[in-house]
């Protein structure tokens, strides 16, 4: 990918190395969009509440003031309509960013994303390109109930023609969003309501992170924990707890589901010989199940135990806190799964 | 209207008619797979409407797309090769009958989900307005598309944002086999425009001159004032919804009423009455030769090489 500004490499920065500022994910996302919009006049941002309200989660705070209503566009509640408009505009030379307040609402636009954005290039034998980024929050947050807590990234990752990005830290969010915007393919970019305020080191200078490159969030030698999105933080907690028991866990943050960095998974598992996948999806037909299949078929000889998989239970998300925590992957369930593969 | 234009309109309508008659024949010979939705009977709509556009204007349509592709200048050879799934097809065998594209001619396809192209058209127009190109998007859709959500969302946003787009409903009276009276409560489909609101019009689709003049008015409204229009064109398809349709929902007499006002036949008679019978015959011979050549080209063309299967998934 051509990059007008220097890339900052692929690994997360170590904040101790230099005195790096700490910013929240919502600000990292705003910086990514704003920097790209300053470079490229063909980029527009559209979605519900992105302008005058500064974004439902304040990810576009101040952008209407800087870029004006021609480029930061408040839409009515009409996801299929404005997603389709974004896709049509992308076919015609613009580079739109379409914000879904949450990806739960993308389901009424999923026909446009899958049947138009993902397939248009093939159907036109390469005559069309679709430089469009769909971004927004996904997954469960505090007691959102059944219709607002879906983790849908694997639905999009199922579709050839799309790229699917699921970052965790502020650094990854910014670098990957900039690459997503610059990509000439349609990209679905997943954030989380729970982590918009989470702060982390992000350099002042511009950088990008290429899509399709996983990141080792913690090195270890006894077991590989594979995850993505906000479950990276849960998984790091799990790894700390295991450390106290004398188990050294390596945490592989996939960062991108499609394209998938298979090599990073295989390299880590070839080192530890044991793997547990931690995901927020239900298990049946899930992305984690696919990774398990990959490991089991491509590097079967490296495995000392069957691959572990920790998922949400096969139940639509109920409201009550006590029930929600039963459904979602918990620290305890993750630790049990690691014990299982180490037995 | 000058005689040259009459000849051009006649030639373009006839090209579509003959292209599709040959396609139907090839389909029954099992040389074409999948679905084949024919436009026969509706040619005056595409040819009339596209004849008033400018070079930079964009066209998008649903799956009944051969007519719009050819009327915009798409090659009959590449179209026929596409139907036969050949590498020389307009989308190299990736699309088939429902998904013709010719972006060089600003023909943006051939889309298969009913009504899905309505917001996409608004997006093309959005970009044209954003880039200040003075371009207009013309979006074709069928009467079957006006009850689905994206139709409403697309028109709603086109009106709200003042986009230079013209929506042209080709009411051929049937959504597949369901007659329009079972899907819409009045005879005037253009009243849907009132709620957004946007300008509206109704056109007799057998009258190519009416198609030209009313679409021109709408296109100017889009170009000069950035205002969308919803037009209902009353037309009729003589063939079934697709080649698989036995047409048990109508009688031959009902079809004949429309065939008696066939726009191609009427234009042919007009050329004769203007003393251009020889010119007419020359056009017919030339179109016939062109279509036969297209069939030959398609049948002799290679299939896409298996090694190219993964092309065009990503940039």
Examine residue A3 and state whether it is found in any structural domain, yes or no: no
Instruction: Please write the tens of the pLDDT for every residue from A280-321.
Output: 999 999 999 999 999 999 999 999 999 999 999 999 999 999
State the total domains in chain A.
2
Catalytic residues of A: 79, 148
pLDDT value at position A19? 80
Examine residue A7 and state whether it is found in any structural domain, yes or no: no
- Say whether both A314 and A263 belong to one domain: yes
Q: First-to-last CA distance in chain A? A: 44
Reply yes or no on whether the pLDDT at A334 is more than 80. yes
Examine residue A209 and state whether it is found in any structural domain, yes or no: no
Distance CA B5, CA A111 (A): 41
CATH of the domain at A308: 3.40.50.920
Beta strands in chain B (DSSP E): 58-61, 107-110, 137-142, 165-171, 174-175, 178-179, 199-204, 229-234
- Say whether both A47 and A169 belong to one domain: yes
DSSP codes joined into one string, A84-126: HHHHHHHHTT-EEEEEEEEGGGGGGGHHIIIIIITTHHHHTTT
Tally: H helices and E strands in chain A: 12, 14
- Say whether both A32 and A160 belong to one domain: yes
pLDDT value at position A6? 36
Distance CA A153, CA A139 (A): 9
Which two structure tokens, joined as six digits, stand for B213? 């003049």
CA angle B160, B161, B163 (to 5 degrees): 115
Q: Tell me whether residues B121 and A88 touch, CB distance under 8 A.
A: yes
- Say whether both A195 and A54 belong to one domain: yes
Distance CA B240, CA B246 (A): 7
Examine residue A14 and state whether it is found in any structural domain, yes or no: no
Cα B163 to its chain centre, rounded Å, is 21
Which two structure tokens, joined as six digits, stand for A343? 């037995």
- Say whether both A170 and A254 belong to one domain: no
Reply yes or no on whether the pLDDT at A5 is more than 70. no
Query: What is the band of A1 on the pLDDT scale with cuts at 50, 70, 90?
Result: very low
Q: Are A139 and A329 in contact (CB under 8 A)?
A: no
- Say whether both A35 and A160 belong to one domain: yes
Distance CA B199, CA B220 (A): 12
Distance CA B154, CA B152 (A): 6
3-state DSSP call for residue A248?
coil
Taking residue A22's Cβ as centre, other Cβ atoms within 10 Å add up to 12
Residue B314 at interface with chain A, using a CB cutoff of 8 Å: yes
Query: What is the band of A117 on the pLDDT scale with cuts at 50, 70, 90?
Result: very high
Instruction: Please write the tens of the pLDDT for every residue from A173-221.
Output: 999 999 999 999 999 999 999 999 999 999 999 999 999 999 999 999 9
Instruction: Please write the tens of the pLDDT for every residue from A240-295.
Output: 999 999 999 999 999 999 999 999 999 999 999 999 999 999 999 999 999 999 99
Residue B119 at interface with chain A, using a CB cutoff of 8 Å: yes
Tens of pLDDT, residue by residue, chain B (315 residues): 699 999 999 999 999 999 999 999 999 999 999 999 999 999 999 999 999 999 999 999 999 999 999 999 999 999 999 999 999 999 999 999 999 999 999 999 999 999 999 999 999 999 999 999 999 999 999 999 999 999 999 999 999 999 999 999 999 999 998 999 999 988 999 999 999 999 999 999 999 999 999 999 999 999 999 999 999 999 999 998 888 898 889 999 999 999 999 999 999 999 999 999 999 999 999 999 999 999 999 999 999 999 999 999 999
Query: What is the band of A3 on the pLDDT scale with cuts at 50, 70, 90?
Result: very low
Question: Please, which residues have CB within 8 angstroms of residue A241's CB and are 6 or more apart in sequence?
Answer: A331, A335
Residues of A in contact with B127 (CB under 8 A): 88-89, 91-94
- Say whether both A53 and A168 belong to one domain: yes
Query: Regarding the domain with residue range B3-299, which homologous superfamily does it belong to in the CATH classification?
Result: Thiamin diphosphate (ThDP)-binding fold, Pyr/PP domains (3.40.50.970)
- Say whether both A186 and A275 belong to one domain: no
Q: What percent of chain A has pLDDT over 70?
A: 95
Ramachandran category for residue A145: left, alpha or beta (phi over 0 → left; psi -120 to 50 → alpha): left
Distance CA A113, CA A105 (A): 12
Residue A249: give the domain boundaries: 215-342
- Say whether both A104 and A248 belong to one domain: no
Examine residue A121 and state whether it is found in any structural domain, yes or no: yes
Interface predicted TM-score of the whole assembly (ipTM), two decimals: 0.96
Distance CA A6, CA A207 (A): 6
- Say whether both A117 and A253 belong to one domain: no
- Say whether both A127 and A255 belong to one domain: no
Distance CA B280, CA B278 (A): 5
Partner residue opposite B313 with nearest CB, options A44, A93, A122: A122
Q: Whole-prediction pTM value?
A: 0.95
Residues of B in contact with A128 (CB under 8 A): 101, 103, 108-109
Distance CA B70, CA B100 (A): 10
pLDDT value at position B89? 98
B86 vs A11, residue with greater confidence: B86
Give me the residue spans of the domains in chain B.
3-299
Q: Tell me whether residues B315 and A111 touch, CB distance under 8 A.
A: no
Examine residue A67 and state whether it is found in any structural domain, yes or no: yes
pLDDT value at position A8? 40
- Say whether both A240 and A263 belong to one domain: yes
- Whether cis (ω within 30° of 0) applies to the bond prior to B197 is yes
Q: Which of A147, A179, A201 is the last residue of a domain?
A: A201
Instruction: Please write the tens of the pLDDT for every residue from A127-181.
Output: 999 999 999 999 999 899 999 999 999 999 999 999 999 999 999 999 999 999 9
pLDDT value at position B1? 67
**Cα–Cα nearest to B114, from B145, B83, B75:** B145
CA angle A114, A115, A120 (to 5 degrees): 105
Which residue is associated with the tokens 């051939």? B110
Reply yes or no on whether the pLDDT at A9 is more than 50. no
Residues of B in contact with A112 (CB under 8 A): 116, 119-120, 150
């Amino acid at each position: 990918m051509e990059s007008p500004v220097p890339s900052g490499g692929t690994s997360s920065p170590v904040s101790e190395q230099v005195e790096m500022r700490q910013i929240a994910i919502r600000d990292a996302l705003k910086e990514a969009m704003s920097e790209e919009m300053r470079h490229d006049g063909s980029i527009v941002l559209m979605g519900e509440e992105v302008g005058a309200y500064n974004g439902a989660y304040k990810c576009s705070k101040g952008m209407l003031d800087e870029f004006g209503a021609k480029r930061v566009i408040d839409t009515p509640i009409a996801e299929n309509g404005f997603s389709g408009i974004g896709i049509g505009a992308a076919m015609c030379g613009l580079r739109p960013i379409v914000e879904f307040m949450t990806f739960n609402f993308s389901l009424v636009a999923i026909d446009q994303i899958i049947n138009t954005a993902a397939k248009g290039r093939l159907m036109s034998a390469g005559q069309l390109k679709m430089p469009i980024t769909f971004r927004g929050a996904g997954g469960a947050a505090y007691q959102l109930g059944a219709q607002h807590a879906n983790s849908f990234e694997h639905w999009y990752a199922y579709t050839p023609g799309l790229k699917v990005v699921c970052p965790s830290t502020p650094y990854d969010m910014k670098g990957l969003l900039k690459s997503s915007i610059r990509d000439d393919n349609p990209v679905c970019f997943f954030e989380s309501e729970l982590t918009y305020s989470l702060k982390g080191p992000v350099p002042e200078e511009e950088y990008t992170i290429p899509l399709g490159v996983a990141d080792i969030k913690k090195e270890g030698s006894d077991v590989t924990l594979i995850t993505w999105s906000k479950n990276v933080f849960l998984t790091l907690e799990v790894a700390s707890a295991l450390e106290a028991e004398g188990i050294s866990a390596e945490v592989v943050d996939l960062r991108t589901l499609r394209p998938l960095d298979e090599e990073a998974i295989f390299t880590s598992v070839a080192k530890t010989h044991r793997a547990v996948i931690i995901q927020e999806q239900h298990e049946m037909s899930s992305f984690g199940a696919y990774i398990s299949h990959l490991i089991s078929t491509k590097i079967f000889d490296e495995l000392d135990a069957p691959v572990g998989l920790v998922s949400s239970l096969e139940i639509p998300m109920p409201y009550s806190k006590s029930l929600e925590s039963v459904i979602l992957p918990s620290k305890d369930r993750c630790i049990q799964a690691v014990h299982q593969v180490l037995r | 209207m000058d005689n040259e234009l009459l000849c051009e309109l006649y030639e373009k309508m006839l090209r579509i008619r003959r292209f599709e008659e040959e396609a139907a024949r090839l389909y029954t010979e099992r040389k074409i797979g999948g679905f084949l939705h024919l436009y026969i009977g509706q040619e005056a709509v595409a040819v009339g409407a596209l004849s008033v556009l400018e070079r930079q204007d964009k066209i998008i349509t649903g799956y009944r797309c051969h007519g719009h592709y050819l009327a915009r200048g798409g090659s009959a050879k590449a179209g026929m090769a596409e139907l036969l799934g050949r590498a020389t097809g307009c989308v190299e065998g990736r699309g088939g009958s429902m998904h013709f594209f010719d972006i060089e001619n600003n023909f943006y396809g051939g889309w298969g989900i009913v009504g899905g192209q309505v917001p996409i058209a608004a997006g093309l127009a959005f970009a044209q307005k954003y880039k200040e190109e003075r371009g207009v998007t013309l979006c074709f859709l069928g009467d079957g598309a006006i009850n689905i959500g994206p139709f409403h969302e697309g028109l709603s946003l086109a009106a709200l944002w003042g986009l230079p787009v013209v929506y042209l409903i080709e009411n051929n009276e049937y959504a597949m086999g369901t007659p329009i009276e079972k899907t819409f409560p009045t005879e005037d489909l253009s009243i849907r425009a009132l709620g957004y609101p946007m300008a509206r019009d109704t056109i007799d689709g057998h009258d190519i001159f009416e198609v030209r003049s009313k679409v021109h008015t709408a296109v100017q409204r889009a170009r000069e004032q950035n205002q969308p229009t919803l037009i209902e064109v009353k037309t009729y398809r003589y063939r079934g919804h697709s080649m698989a349709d036995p047409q048990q929902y109508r009688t031959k007499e009902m079809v004949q009423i429309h065939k008696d006002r066939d726009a191609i036949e009427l234009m042919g008679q007009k050329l004769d009455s203007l003393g251009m019978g020889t010119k007419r015959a020359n056009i017919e011979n030339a179109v016939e030769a062109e279509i036969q050549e297209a069939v030959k080209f398609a049948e002799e063309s290679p299939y896409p090489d298996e090694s190219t299967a993964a092309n065009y998934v990503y940039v």
